[in-house]
Structure 1
Amino acid sequence: MQPRPLEGIRVIDYSHFLAGPYVGRCLAALGAEVIKVERPGDGDAGRRHATILDDQQSGYFLQLNMGKRGVSVNLKDARGKAFMQRLCDSADVFIENYRPGALDRLGLGYAELAARNPRLVYCSISAYGHTGPDAHRAGFGLIAEAKSGIMQMVGAPGAAPPLLRISLGDMYTGIHAVAAINAALLGRVTSSRGQHIDMALYDTLVSMHEYAVQCYTLDGVLPEQTGHDMPASTLYGVFRAVDGDMVIAAQVDDAWQRFAALVEAHGGPAGFGSDARFHDSAGRNAHRQAILAVVTPWVAAQPVARLLDWLDSVDVPCAKVQRIDEVLADPQIRARGMIVEQDHPRLGKLRLPNLPFRFSDCDTTIRAVAPDLGQHNAEVARSLGFDAAEIAALCADGVLFSKGDLND
């Protein structure tokens, strides 16, 4: 097995909640040494987010911070600031997701850290980015989803858009940040200099529009809420069967022909499979309501399993709309190792989502659990050249803060 691609890279993760910690988790999986830096006391607010397990850990924090080492530093103390600057001097990458300007006041802005460490790749994640009239505004993924035009397109016509229920803005921005950081590290090989990467949740969600923007700029059409299917891709949508919901993707001409023939063969109207109106995309879209009038009751009369068997037999893409418990039990997910198991010293066995990285010659699955607050203070301090007496004094004075049974 090869070493993981980022082994030897040190990352300082000075971020909280979701987008930044997700970037750090990805870099840890790719082999980087990721040091999670938190404020004394309660640390990252994500520790007290969904599924709180004890006074240190939530399921949310455990998922986003596995594989990292934990340090807690009091930056209000001059010794803490000096410790943090020394730590950043040793780093290749710095991740933060605070409002623009917030870290400048702590001496942790890009200009100050890069002056000390010109090779540093500094990644900022914020709602609106570090430029533009909204740069100063606070925001979360929900705000970016609303502003981006994505939310306006989902839901039933005339109804208020639903919450997406996954953190699309944070996760999509996070994985783009991972790509940008790796590109900057590669560029540093020839330039010998790092740079500032400025990622915005709003930017990345606008970049996701694969058709809506050009529909408007090229054709003057504003996308509208369409509910359970896509008028420009007939037949492509969600349908209710006897015992559950399923999706069918028969929008491509040859898949449509197989699908329509199947419907006719299993109780659909005679001639449905050979109706020339439906033989190309434009015709299907123009006659969408006529198609739905046949397909919707046809699906509704059958159980999901039978429909899946029929559709698989003619190679029409389809799937059941699964609950989370069904996802965890899915043989495909098990075969791909998409649920990682970890043994936690206090909490026992943990089962959490894995990352989707698959390399032919190295394993990127993280087995190390997320750190307790300040768990690796002494270990990291030693790596920076602090001696035992200095470390003891920093800990005794609360400059390096720790909490919990796993502390170093």
Structure 2
Amino acid sequence: MTLDLQSAAGRARLGAQLETADGLVENLPIERLEALGLTPEETRRRWPRLVHVSITTFGRRGPYARFRGHALQASAAGAASITIGEPGRAPLPLPVSQPDYQGGVNGAIGFLLACLARERSGHGQHVDVATADVVAFYGGITSTMYTAQEIPWRREGHRASRSGGYYPYTILPCRDGYLCMITRSGHPWKRFVEAMGNPAWTRDPRYQDRALMGRDYPDEVDALLALWLEERTSEELLRICRERGIPFSVVRDAPGVAACPQLAARGFFVEIHHSEAGALRYPGAPWRFSKTPWRTDRPAPLLGEHTSQLFVEGGLWEASDGAPHGAERTAEL
């Protein structure tokens, strides 16, 4: 549905929709909400049962409440960026706009919890989600290591930072890509050494203490492993590690994900027919329900595709009246 919130008719139709809606989800600057009369205080007064969800970079409270931002700022403010990248170089943002996606997930969870609370109280409430808070929460040990022990996290590039010290917990290149190795306990490391044919360097006393290897000279050991890994493909390494019970994962690229047999077996990708784009494969749901399986039977709507339908169903205008002029333009927010 599209509405022109610059017009009185558009604002009136939005208000009529909110009379029966379960929730309002927005990410507008607070001054825009004030101009539209849609602040959390105002929506609570006008629609007491409405669950109002705000998903912004810094939230609706605190000294940064009126600051604007995007995933880049949330990644930096939540201390995720400082952990990503090579030591001595600039920090990097979380990839593929993860703060926005995870902010949306947490907004949905908050909305459902507020709906559950409404069943008991009869009243809606404001759910205030800050994506910077979400990133800081997901950082987990990043924050608690400092608040509990005053140990700041540091970037270590392809290697897990401060993960306990034991080598290896790292990503290394092979012939056709990269692999993630987590053979920190004794038995998997021993089996991996055997898979390599027990090279002479593994018997050197310098490479017996894996805590020292992980803490003091991991790059040196990486170079030794690379001599063996770079001669083998990721599929060869996957087979070797599976046969020996060695923790290991191929680092897949987008074509690898699209062709992944595990995702195919779970029916992850689904084909959806779109009126303009035709048949396309889309990522599906990441979960499976045993009794009520997830499905989709229609594509994403075109801009304003259902405006007329929703207005008719909501009794806001008669189908015989023609298009709802003055309320169908996209709002400039």
TM-score (norm 2): 0.89
The alignment status of 1:245 with 2:201, answered yes or no, reads no
Worse-superposed segment, 302-311 or 283-292: 283-292
Kindly indicate whether the alpha-carbon contact (under 8 Å) linking 2:201 and 2:207 is maintained by their aligned counterparts in 1: no
Q: Residue type matched to 2:182 in 1?
A: A
SS at match of 1:131: coil
Q: 1:199, CA displacement in angstroms?
A: 0.4
Q: Residue type matched to 2:17 in 1?
A: L
Residue 232 of structure 2 is matched in structure 1 by: 302
Residue 321 of structure 2 is matched in structure 1 by: 392
Aligned residue pairs, count: 326
Kindly indicate whether the alpha-carbon contact (under 8 Å) linking 1:257 and 1:273 is maintained by their aligned counterparts in 2: no
Kindly indicate whether the alpha-carbon contact (under 8 Å) linking 1:341 and 1:367 is maintained by their aligned counterparts in 2: no
Q: 1:97, CA displacement in angstroms?
A: 0.9
- Mapped to 2, the partners of 1:388 and 1:329 lie a distance apart of 49
Kindly indicate whether the alpha-carbon contact (under 8 Å) linking 2:192 and 2:246 is maintained by their aligned counterparts in 1: no
TM-score (norm 1): 0.73
- Mapped to 2, the partners of 1:94 and 1:249 lie a distance apart of 44
- Mapped to 2, the partners of 1:159 and 1:217 lie a distance apart of 25
Q: Residue type matched to 1:399 in 2?
A: A
Kindly indicate whether the alpha-carbon contact (under 8 Å) linking 1:144 and 1:202 is maintained by their aligned counterparts in 2: yes
- Mapped to 1, the partners of 2:134 and 2:203 lie a distance apart of 42
The alignment yields a C-alpha RMSD, in angstroms, of 2.5
Q: 1:200, CA displacement in angstroms?
A: 0.5
Kindly indicate whether the alpha-carbon contact (under 8 Å) linking 1:128 and 1:200 is maintained by their aligned counterparts in 2: yes
SS at match of 1:351: strand
The alignment status of 1:377 with 2:317, answered yes or no, reads no
Which of 150, 153, 176 aligns to 2:83? It is 153
Q: 1:198, CA displacement in angstroms?
A: 0.4
**CA distance 1:273–1:370, shift in 2 (3 Å):** farther
- Mapped to 2, the partners of 1:323 and 1:293 lie a distance apart of 23
Residue 189 of structure 2 is matched in structure 1 by: 259
> Which segments of 5 or more consecutive residues in structure 1 lack a partner in the other structure?
1-70, 403-408
**CA distance 1:392–1:74, shift in 2 (3 Å):** farther
The alignment status of 1:74 with 2:4, answered yes or no, reads yes
Q: 1:139, CA displacement in angstroms?
A: 0.1
Which of 107, 115, 118 aligns to 2:37? It is 107
Q: Residue type matched to 1:160 in 2?
A: A
SS at match of 2:88: coil
Which of 126, 131, 140 aligns to 1:210? It is 140
Percent identical residues = 29
Kindly indicate whether the alpha-carbon contact (under 8 Å) linking 1:246 and 1:319 is maintained by their aligned counterparts in 2: yes
Q: 1:160, CA displacement in angstroms?
A: 2.1
Residue 173 of structure 1 is matched in structure 2 by: 103
Q: Residue type matched to 1:120 in 2?
A: L
SS at match of 1:101: helix
Q: 1:380, CA displacement in angstroms?
A: 0.8
- Mapped to 2, the partners of 1:331 and 1:368 lie a distance apart of 26
**CA distance 1:232–1:110, shift in 2 (3 Å):** closer
Kindly indicate whether the alpha-carbon contact (under 8 Å) linking 1:156 and 1:226 is maintained by their aligned counterparts in 2: yes
Residue 136 of structure 1 is matched in structure 2 by: 66
Q: Residue type matched to 2:273 in 1?
A: D
Residue 199 of structure 1 is matched in structure 2 by: 129
**CA distance 1:293–1:91, shift in 2 (3 Å):** same
Kindly indicate whether the alpha-carbon contact (under 8 Å) linking 1:263 and 1:273 is maintained by their aligned counterparts in 2: no
Q: Residue type matched to 2:326 in 1?
A: G
Within 5 Å, give how 1:7-406 maps onto structure 2. 71-233=1-163, 234-251=167-184, 253=185, 256-270=186-200, 272=202, 282=211, 285-286=214-215, 289=218, 291-388=221-318, 392=321, 395=324, 397-401=325-329
- Mapped to 1, the partners of 2:103 and 2:64 lie a distance apart of 18
Q: 1:318, CA displacement in angstroms?
A: 1.5
Kindly indicate whether the alpha-carbon contact (under 8 Å) linking 2:153 and 2:161 is maintained by their aligned counterparts in 1: no
